[in-house]
Structure formats: structure tokens, C-alpha cells
Structure 1
């Protein structure tokens, strides 16, 4: 049974979501003290976190940042705020998805299932190491290492990198990436993919690899393989 942590201060909504998710055999925990969300996160050790933006004391961005500094657990924002910058901010902080309230429960469960299937089944099967542009990609630890050091990637970032590297020197379409990441592109903003790829590229720049992920306008993205040049 997967453990989910629902960080939501609306008691009625929390109880409704908890009841529905429990019917799907998920173990759902809430927050007892919104001043100590991170401490409760470390105690619960959830497999996935669902978090609102507007919360007592500190907002969801604050807690997402704290969680992401210590864990790569999947994070889904669930918020009534509809400004595009909120979605962009959540993705930049390392969230895996953003769902706007009001929402259809079928959409929420579909996204949760897709993330859990991708993250945990994927990690169980893909424990091998890959090399790319002189770097070592560890799909089990979600890390990339070269002479410049080691970076940690989120689940979305490592999955995007895996798809691109598996088809290196070939264009992977935006639609193929969206469907592979989120199963159904109808529920995903095109900007969500852009933010995730840009964040991946920015992380790779720490190792001098950002330039090897190229954008092909109107087509998709391509992971170039480094070649020796004079």
C-alpha cells in the first residue's frame, strides 16, 4: 500500500479526498500542526505528497522547497490559484504536477497512479548505469556524475533525461514526452513540459552538459552525444 501525505488545511476537502483515495487502497495521512509540516513529513515518510499552496503559517512553496532539499519524493500541487506563475513556480521547485481546483477526482487519481507507476516501477526495473557525454547516469539513485561533480535529479527530470538519452541524436516529440510522463496529454499544460525540460537543462549546466539538450522548435527535444572536434 502506497503512503500519501495530503497537506491541505480545508478539513472538509481533506476528508473527502482522503475517503476517496482510501477507497483506492492508498494510506492517506494529513498534517496535525501546520507549523511543523516538514517534521511530520519526515515521520510519515510518504511515497507521494499532495500539497496546497495557500496554507497557514508558510505556503506550499515553502514546504515544497524544504522537502525537495532533502528528498526526491513525488510532489503534486493541488490549488485553487490559477495564475500561470504559480504553476511555473511549483515546477521550478521540483514538483511533479500541478492540478487546479476545482478538479475531477478521476483526473487526480489518474495523475497519482501515473506518477507512482512511473517512479516506483521504473526504479525497480532500471537499476543499470548509463553513460552519456562522458557522464554516468544512475537511474536508481537519480544522479548524474562527471569530472565536475554529481547532481541529484527529481523523478521527472531523470525520466526526461532517460527518454532523451535512449534516443540520443534523435528528436523526441513533445507529445511523446508528455504521454510518457503523464499518460494523458489532455490533462497537461504544454508549459509544464517546457518548465521541466528547462529545469533539467539548468541542473545539467552545473556539469557543463546543459548545451547537449537541444530544443527543436515546433518538434521537440534532442539529447546530443558529445563528439571530439578539432
Structure 2
């Protein structure tokens, strides 16, 4: 199939059919912020920080660029007054959960976000899903997953899987933007093996440092 012509921030670019706006922008060296995107994973669109302005056939809309497929002759703007306002609000919402996450702190400075705009919910998890999706799509282990506690969605490690799969892996720790995954795993380990005092001490310190509230799957580990 022939290449698709479009513009991003006034620059004429070409893209292959099936590419997303985010993929094309990154290939062209155009920065669009993301918190839940990873090159090895299917696009998720959870953080919505990659929101862009798209003009097509005289109409302007706002789209999550990691999910938005390129189309002929669209004009994409990665920064505009409206886009910046949207990102500012999203950063403020995310900082209610993870006020000290380095990437969010940087974005807060760039967009003038108020880290105290929303009441704190000290979970330190922003539900980017990187740990869940990486464990599923790349590692094929499913040792960590989403679960819904009433109206609240949270992340949990599954102890009966984690005890065999996570100790020699821990790859999700490095991609977690808030360090929640590491603290969640340590507390899962500590609570499943209460006799291992060093693990409890380490996990407690990690959780206190990050102000993490950890949900634990109700499946006990066995030695």
C-alpha cells in the first residue's frame, strides 16, 4: 500500500498504513509525553497524556495519539492552548496518586500543573498498566493484574504465581513510572511469608517511603 501524507506541527511527513500518530511523531523526533506507552506493548491509552489536536476535513478533534491511526491529509498539532490545558489537568489528576513520580514532576513544571489541586489518594499507582501488560504480553506469566474493588481499580500481584516467577525477573520494576510495582511486590512477599522479618522490614520501609497502599491478592503463598 502507498504511503500516507500528513502534517505534524506543520511538518510534512509520510507514514505507513496502520501506524499511529504517536509512532510517526516519535520516528520524526517530535516529542509527545506518555506515561503508559512502551514499545514492546500494545497501545493502551490509559494515561491520555499523549492527547493531540487533529484537524481533518475542516473539523478539529482531540485524540489519544497512541491509539489514533494516521489518515491521509490530517493535520496534527502536538501543542496548542487546548492540548496544554488537557495535559495540565491530566497531570494534576495523576499527581493526586503519585505526587513525587519523577516523570510527573517534570511534566508538572512544563505545563504549570498544581500538584495539590486534587485531594491526595496515596496509592502511588497511576494505573498505567505497564506492569500488568508487560507481564502478560512479554513475559507471559500473568503474575500481576488489575482487579476491581468496588468502584476502585487497583493492581495486585498474585502470590501463588509471583513466588515462582518474580524473584528472578523483576523487569516490571524498571518500567514502572512511580516505583509502585516494586513496593507492591515486596509487600506481597512479606505478607505471604510473615516469618521472614527482613522482607517485612524492607517492604515496610519501601511502602512508607513511597506512601504506598498495597492491595494483596487473597491467595496465600506456600513454601
Q: What TM-score do the two structures reach when normalised by structure 1?
A: 0.32
> Which has more radius of gyration?
2
Which has the larger helix fraction?
1
